Amino acid sequence: MNDYSVFLKANEAHVTHLQQLDHSPKRWTPIEDIFFLPKNQTLQQYNPYDICMRLRTPLEGTAKSSLDEIVIQPHKEGYTTHTTYRETGSKETLLDRADVLGYEQWGAIVRRSYAYVIHLSQQETVSVSYQDIDPLGSYLKVEAQTEHALASVLDMLFVKHKDIIYKNSAVLLAEQMGLL
């Protein structure tokens, strides 16, 4: 998905405002994301803002895992994520495939989320997800199709500019691990 996105640490006030804007959030299937780096790079050389290979596995249900290539482009209003879906299959098969493609695992998270939809107009909606990310903590991820829509929802949630995190979960994990 190509969009404008930001993260922010979730707090009680944000969640209260979200619940007032959308009374029926959707619970998403919990997922595990495993992040990979090229085998020819050390963890100290790797930058997750470069191409990041991700293995996403649903932790419930029968959906297949996917091996995805992600390019993160930071900009002044957040970041844009460009995702190329490479393959689907079992987790084990895709772990082997990542190895064959020349990648090795550097980190993993488990994400449990609730999705809220905020209607700015009949044509424009913004997705806000409350995400409990192990081992990172609780975050809100705001995704909009335009910078204006993103700014509008951040205003609706009374988000202060200093609270915005212009990074995705792979970058946050790399920072927590001391890689960046």
Q: What is the CATH number of the domain that holds 143?
A: 2.40.320.10
**Please, which pLDDT band fits residue 127 given cuts at 50, 70 and 90?**
very high
> Could you tell me where the DSSP H helices lie in 51-158?
91-100, 147-156
Q: How many domains does the chain have?
A: 1
Residue 102: CB atoms within 10 Å: 12
Whether the Cβ atoms of residue 129 and residue 116 lie closer than 8 Å to each other: yes
Rounded CA gap, 115 and 128, in Å? 6
- The whole-number average pLDDT for the span 115-144 is 92
| Residue 1 confidence class, pLDDT cut points 50, 70, 90 | very low
How far apart, in whole angstroms, are the C-alpha atoms of residue 94 and residue 66? 7
Note down the domain range covering 60: 4-176
Q: What DSSP state is assigned to residue 25?
A: P
Calculate the alpha carbon distances from 174 to 9, 42, 45, 116, 171 in Å.
17, 13, 12, 27, 5
Question: How confident is the prediction for the chain on average, in pLDDT?
Answer: 88
Q: Could you count the other beta carbons within 10 Å of the beta carbon of residue 48?
A: 24
pTM confidence score: 0.83
Asked whether the CA dihedral 23, 12, 171, 60 is positive or negative, the reply is negative
For residues 164, 167, 168, 169, the Cα torsion angle rounded to the nearest 10 degrees is: -90
Whole-number Å distance between alpha carbons of 175 and 179 = 6
pLDDT digits (tens, 9 = 90+) for 10-62: 999 988 989 998 888 999 999 999 999 889 888 778 776 677 889 999 999 89
Choice between 169 and 138, residue whose per-residue pLDDT is larger: 138
